Chains A and B, each alone.
Chain A
C-alpha cells in the first residue's frame, strides 16, 4: 500500500523528465531542419559581400533585392514558365492515365490483366537513373530530342501512380457500379461519372505526387534537350553553380533562385499536407 503511494510521484517525475528530454531533442532537430531554410531566405536579400562576411547573421545588412532583380533579367522567368507548362501537362496526364489504367486493373475483367499487372511491377523495379542514356537514345531516334514532347511524353505515366489508383479503386464497393451498369451506362461512363468522383482522396494524393515529382525532376530534363529555350527550373538553376549566370559564387542569387523554385511545392505541401502524410508512404512504396 505505502509502496504504491511512494511510487506514483516518482513515476510522474520520470515521465516529466522523459517528456522534457523529448522536447529538447525535437527542438534541437527542428532547429537543424529549419535553420538552413532561414539562412536561405535571409541570404537571398543580402548583398554578396554581406553574405560572405556574415554567413551566420539572419539580418541582412544592407537589405537588397539585387539578387531577385538579376534573376528577373536573366532566363529565370523563362525557366519558371517552362517548369509550369511541363508540370501542368505531366500532372494532368498522369492523373488521368494512371486512374484509367488503375481502374482497369482493379475492376475490369479482361484477358491478360494479370500479365499487364506483372509487367507493371517489373517496370517499377527498374531504377530511374540507369534509364538516362537509354531515354536519350529513344528520344533522339524518334526525332523529338530538343522538342517539347521529349520533356513531357516520357513522364506522362508513372507505374507507381497506376499502383496507387488500383489499390484505391479496389476499396470502393462494387455494388456502386452495378446500379449504373444495369442502367446501361458504358464502362467509361461508369468510370468517369460514378467511380472517379468517389476517388477524390487518391486523386489528390496522385496530383500532389505528380506535381512534386515533375516540378523537382532533374535527370530527365538533362537528357531530353539541350536547347536553352527548353530549360526548366531544375536544369537552369542546377547549372547556376557551373557559372551559366556568371554567378558561381554569387550566393544571394543562388539562394533566391532556390527559394523561388521551392515556393510552389512548399505551398502545395502546406495546403495538402494531410493527404501527403497519410499517403506519402503509399507513394514511396514503389521500390
Chain B
C-alpha cells in the first residue's frame, strides 16, 4: 500500500476541473428539480406545487414516451453488445489483417451522431437501397417502412451502427486484461471453446460489459437528435417531449418534471450497475 503522498494543496488543484463540472452540472440539476415543483419559474408566479407531477403522471402520452425511451435504451445497449462482443473477442489476438480491420471498425466512432443518423436514413428510407435491393431480389413486394417506423427499429439500427466501436473499445480493454495462462490452463483441463467463452471470457470481462451497456443505455435513453430525425412520429422520445414541452408549449415546469424523470432513471440505472458490478467482481 502506498503511503500518504498528498497535501491539502492537491485538493486545491482539483478545483479548476472538478469545480467547473460541478458548478455547471449541479446548477442544471438544481434548476430542473426546483422548477419541477413550481419554484424559480420562468412563466407565471413561483410557488411550491406538485400539480406538475400529478399532471405528468396522469398523462398517458408522457408514459408512452418514457416506455419508448426505455425500450430504445435496452435494445440499443443489447444490440451494440451483440455486435461488439464477438468482434472484440476476435480482435483480442493480433494477426494478419486485423490492424486494418480494427481501423475500419473504428470509423463510426469518429462520425458525429447526426451524420451517422443521416447516413443510415439514406439506406433504410422508403426508396432506399435496402428496400430497392429486396424488391429487385423479389423478397418483398412492397417497400418496408424502416424509417420513422412505429416500433423504432430505425433508431436502434443507427445507435448500433454509431456506437459499436465505442463499446468495442471498452470491451477490448477488459478482454486484454485476461491472461492467456488462464485460458491455457482451462484448455489443458479439457475445457472446450464453449466453456472458455462462458466460464472465462464472459465472467472476467463482465465489468467492461456492464459499463458499456450502462453508458449505451444512458445515451439511447436520453437521446434527442437521432430519435427526432429517425424515430416514430408517435411517441416522441422523452428528451424530445421534454424539449417540445419547454420551448414549443412554454410549459417549463412540466418539462422539468420530465427532466427529473430522465435524471432519476439514469441515476437508478447507474446505481444498479455499481451493485451488479460489486456482485460480479466481488469488490467493494
Partners in one complex: no
Instruction: Write the residues of chain A forming the contact surface with B, with a CB cutoff of 8 angstroms.
Output: none
Instruction: Write the residues of chain B forming the contact surface with A, with a CB cutoff of 8 angstroms.
Output: none
